């Protein structure tokens, strides 16, 4: 795609905001910042569909999850997964599919068709656990355009409009939201070349991490991703993303908003104390 040089004049206060975007990671310089802003403003394409993964048993969160599905554990007075619904509604993602399994009736009873939350919720049911990729095989008729997928056990305050703009610019099949953490050695850590994700290094030794960026559990995917998912139980992290990485079709989007994993009682406690909500 060609480019032409353009000279513009901006007020000092506007220029200060433009310069504030430059982080030398995603935004290289002042010109790049202005290009990103224009791309966001002129973009007419929006994401309308999302899949929320809410079928796991949450074994690491027992004894809580003996009586309540993990996506329904409370965070500041509301079910964990409701915070993700509020994030989607904020960015006008109206069509949401819940992939449910364990204690699915409790999730259905609370959310219903989504009308009281300002969205439309439908469900796909797992008779047995299908992993983070397997449920998508039931949704081929619905997922005909770019869609979001979110793990139902994370809290993330991410600018989905900017995420979508980045994904569209890269023209890959999958983009993973990446967040920085103080101790990445406890997670799968992204090894990147530019914005391309080459691989994830699982729980590297302290000081040996290729970056501080980990998978935040929020993805933008093209329908073509379905071709890479095997039948039955399948994991995005092991069965799909490595294939895309080898073909140069997997990208990483670094965001700075709040993020919490609630996979353990310790991380759950941190989320309860520190989560500021979708603002």
pLDDT of residue 170: 92
Question: Does 21 share its domain with 57?
Answer: no
Identify the sign of the CA torsion 42, 244, 102, 66. negative
pLDDT digits (tens, 9 = 90+) for 60-71: 778 777 888 888
Question: Does 24 share its domain with 116?
Answer: no
Residue 7 lies in a domain: no
Range of the domain at 218: 43-274
Identify the sign of the CA torsion 107, 274, 206, 175. positive
The residue behind tokens 């559990």 is 217
For residues 113 and 120, what is the distance between their CA atoms, to the nearest angstrom? 6
Question: Does 160 share its domain with 186?
Answer: yes
When pLDDT is cut at 50, 70 and 90, the band that residue 108 belongs to is very high
Question: Does 72 share its domain with 20?
Answer: no
pLDDT of residue 270: 87
Question: Does 30 share its domain with 59?
Answer: no
When pLDDT is cut at 50, 70 and 90, the band that residue 37 belongs to is low
Question: Does 30 share its domain with 135?
Answer: no
Residue in 79, 75, 78 with CA at minimum distance from that of residue 54: 79
- Here the CATH number for the domain that contains residue 181 is 3.90.550.10
Residue 193 lies in a domain: yes
Buried b or exposed e, range 244-269, using 16+ CB within 10 angstroms: bbeeebbbbbbbeebbbbbbeeebbe
Alpha helices in the chain (DSSP H): 12-20, 30-42, 80-90, 104-111, 160-170, 241-246, 265-274
**Count of domains for the chain:** 2
* CA atoms in the 13 A half-sphere facing the CB of 12: 0
Residue in 42, 144, 154 with CA at minimum distance from that of residue 95: 144
Question: Does 205 share its domain with 223?
Answer: yes
The residue behind tokens 């030794």 is 205
For residues 20 and 34, what is the distance between their CA atoms, to the nearest angstrom? 11
Q: What are the beta bridge partners of residue 116?
A: none
Question: Does 34 share its domain with 88?
Answer: no
Question: Does 34 share its domain with 56?
Answer: no
Residue 231 lies in a domain: yes
Question: Does 154 share its domain with 27?
Answer: no
Question: Does 27 share its domain with 116?
Answer: no
pLDDT of residue 12: 75
Residue 160 lies in a domain: yes
Mean pLDDT across the chain, nearest whole number?
A: 86
Question: Is pLDDT larger for residue 31 or for residue 89?
Answer: 89
pLDDT of residue 127: 78
Q: Is 200 helix (H, G, I), strand (E, B) or coil?
A: strand
pLDDT of residue 98 exceeding 90: yes
pLDDT digits (tens, 9 = 90+) for 164-200: 999 999 999 999 999 988 777 777 788 889 899 998 8
Residue in 185, 186, 167, 184 with CA at minimum distance from that of residue 252: 167
pLDDT (average), residues 127-132: 83
pLDDT of residue 45: 52
Residue 1 lies in a domain: no
Question: Does 48 share its domain with 30?
Answer: no
Residues 6+ apart with CB under 8 A from 204: 184, 185, 189, 210
Q: Is 238 helix (H, G, I), strand (E, B) or coil?
A: helix
Q: Which two tokens stand for residue 278?
A: 């979708």
What's the start-to-end Cα distance of the chain, in Å?
Answer: 35
* Strand-pair category, 188-193 with 250-254: unpaired
Residue 3 lies in a domain: no
Residue 224 lies in a domain: yes
pLDDT of residue 44: 42
Residue 162 lies in a domain: yes
């Amino acid at each position: 795609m060609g480019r032409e040089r353009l000279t513009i004049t901006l007020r000092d206060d506007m220029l200060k905001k433009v310069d504030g975007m430059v982080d030398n990671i995603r935004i290289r310089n002042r010109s790049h910042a202005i290009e990103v802003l224009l791309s966001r403003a002129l973009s007419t394409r929006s994401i309308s569909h999302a899949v929320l993964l809410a079928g796991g048993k949450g074994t690491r969160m027992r004894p809580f999850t003996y009586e309540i599905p993990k996506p329904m554990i409370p965070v500041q007075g509301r079910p964990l997964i409701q915070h993700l619904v509020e994030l989607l509604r904020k960015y006008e993602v109206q069509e949401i599919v819940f992939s449910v399994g364990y204690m699915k009736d409790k999730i259905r009873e609370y959310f219903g068709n989504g009308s009281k939350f300002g969205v439309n919720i439908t469900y796909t049911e797992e008779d047995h656990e299908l992993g983070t990729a397997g449920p998508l095989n039931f949704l081929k008729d619905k997922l005909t355009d770019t869609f979001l997928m979110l793990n139902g056990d994370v809290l993330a305050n991410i600018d989905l409009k900017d995420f979508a703009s980045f994904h569209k610019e890269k023209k890959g099949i999958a983009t993973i939201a990446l967040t920085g953490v103080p101790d990445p050695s406890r997670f799968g850590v992204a090894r990147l070349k530019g914005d391309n994700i080459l691989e994830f290094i699982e729980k590297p030794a302290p000081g040996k991490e290729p970056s501080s960026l980990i998978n935040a559990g929020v993805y933008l995917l093209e329908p073509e991703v379905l071709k890479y998912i095997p039948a039955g139980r399948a994991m995005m992290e092991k069965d799909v993303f490595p294939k895309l990485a080898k073909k140069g079709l997997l990208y990483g989007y670094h965001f700075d908003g709040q993020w919490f994993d609630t996979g353990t009682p310790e991380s759950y406690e941190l989320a309860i104390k520190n989560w500021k909500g979708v603002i």
